[in-house]
Structure 1
């Protein structure tokens, strides 16, 4: 029997990479999962249903959460994973690119937490995990908008943690390092090499490494943990 049996979960950005692994691991642990993405999703197996979802669309968020409420009567877990990167230096960053990244990585997290809290607060329970990045806690050359958005996710998560702790709701952030996903594999060899060279373990991680950390944080094993920033980064931030 899984540790999340009977829990109802919503995972964004689940078509590939970390989100796909999170949805799969939560379902394997017993949760009923709604997995969303703007991309087409393959069949993820038992206990996972897929929905098309642009996380910048507040009305679509409301529709999905309403459907979860109608079908299950509750929402126990939200994993805000959907995100995009951008590689522009600050002096070259266009306002359009800034707005695109902030809308998905930061505003999408805000709307997601607002919609989840709509169900979690009346039931006085719930666990939120927001996927940030090591780039939310430290700096590398370029990626100015990505840095800003992922640092904002950390502070938004802490705000949620302290604001709703007395209502039985926990909020934590996970900070992946270099993880083998379509996003990182699409980066330049130079950038990927720089990240891996700076990782004390000397290797990158796999999406399941992040998914297992998320599964722990939303489980009862982490019942006294809220407001933390958990790196899954092979020691990158420990340098």
Structure 2
């Protein structure tokens, strides 16, 4: 019974450590560029998606807690000089974020533009390729509500690419033929424990079994 209890405590400790999610601060890119799709005009430059210009609340990079910030009633105005739009007749676009140095990220929040109706987005890095694809919620009206959070496995990179596709393809927005984005923020993932793969779990559980067997063998030898 004691051996089973100790093994259970050890396994619970490993599971707890693997699943623990520490508070994560907001990590801000130092710049962002349009690598495909262009910009429709001087009022809709891509810098607007990282400069907090449309948000009702602002954050301090490296200080403000990501989850607490997203949980606040934080709307986006959607007015001039607060969003980015691609060229007219662009059904897809690509943005590249430069963090200035290698950072570890594991989730992001998007304040999606309320008219361009992009159907899907994906993030990738030069070294790791595709990380995750997702479909953002289509906002209606302006201002539009708080950021929508998407989580992914922790990645370490300096550059992150956001691909946007299917812009202006929803029936209710047939007259809109461009991509757009209000704001995007990222969460520091350096303190997030990675969840072991199934094969790793099997090795750990097998290790506990072997440890128990060795303990029982030693006890039998001691009693002989």
TM-score between both structures, scaled by the size of structure 2:
0.27
Question: Which structure has the higher relative contact order (CA within 8 Å, separation 6+)?
Answer: 2
Instruction: Look at both structures and tell me which one has the larger radius of gyration over its CA atoms.
Output: 2
Structure with the higher fraction of residues in strand conformation: 2
User: Between Structure 1 and Structure 2, which shows a larger proportion of helix residues?
Assistant: 1
What TM-score do the two structures reach when normalised by structure 1? 0.26
